């Protein structure tokens, strides 16, 4: 089987919507989303991308800004989560939501959907962190930033801890995981 054939087959397990969030902190009940990004991969491999800064309705702590480099000024004119949620949920409908450390992102997503009065996510989810630990056991670190190097993921022009760039790396990671599993 050629490399191109191997890479084509993994998405037939979908559709998948890979997503990532950046937040004002670590608590879904106290903190808020400041950025959301997603890539939907259809069964035929076609992709649709979504990304938006989100006005959290509260100041972004300096410690959070140091992590993701999203400032209060950057989100001041951004839409609220209540306004971006319908587009994201439409994109994700009928797919498996995928995130690296899904417990974190899904916790924020569900809490934010609830707070905004939207229907909660009831579909399937997949966690690339858990899958990577199973498929590539014994690595020194499973952070997305370290996996980029230890698993030789393709380069993405951007920075870690920005939702759009982390989604691209998670897409490459999911492809590597599923391709490995399909060809064992």
Alpha-carbon distance of 22 to 72, in angstroms, equals: 13
Q: What 8-state DSSP symbol labels residue 153?
A: P
Alpha-carbon distance of 166 to 76, in angstroms, equals: 23
Bridge partners of 127? 99
Alpha-carbon distance of 151 to 17, in angstroms, equals: 22
Whether 161 is a known active-site residue: answer yes
- Asked if 40 and 92 touch (Cβ cutoff 8 Å), the reply is yes
Using the CB atoms, write b or e for 84-115: b if 16+ within 10 Å.
bbeebbebbeebbbbbbbbebbbbbbebbbee
Q: Which residue of the set 68, 100, 161, 172 is catalytic?
A: 161
Could you list the active site residues?
161
């Amino acid at each position: 089987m050629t490399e191109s054939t191997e890479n084509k087959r993994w998405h037939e397990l979908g559709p998948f919507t890979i997503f990532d969030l950046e937040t004002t902190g670590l608590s879904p009940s106290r903190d808020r989303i400041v950025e959301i990004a997603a890539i939907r991969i259809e069964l035929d491999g076609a992709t649709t991308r979504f990304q938006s800064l989100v006005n959290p309705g509260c100041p972004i702590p300096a410690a959070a800004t140091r992590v993701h480099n999203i400032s209060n000024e950057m989100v001041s004119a951004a839409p609220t989560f209540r306004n971006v949620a319908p587009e994201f949920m439409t994109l994700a409908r009928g797919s498996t939501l995928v995130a690296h450390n899904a417990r974190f992102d899904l916790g924020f997503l569900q809490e934010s959907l609830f707070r905004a009065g939207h229907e909660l996510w009831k579909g399937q989810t997949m966690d690339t962190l858990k899958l990577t630990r199973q498929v590539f056991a014994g690595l020194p670190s499973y952070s997305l930033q370290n996996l980029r190097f230890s698993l030789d993921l393709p380069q993405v022009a951007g920075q870690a801890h920005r939702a759009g760039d982390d989604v691209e790396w998670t897409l490459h990671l999911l492809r590597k995981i599923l391709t490995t599993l399909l060809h064992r």
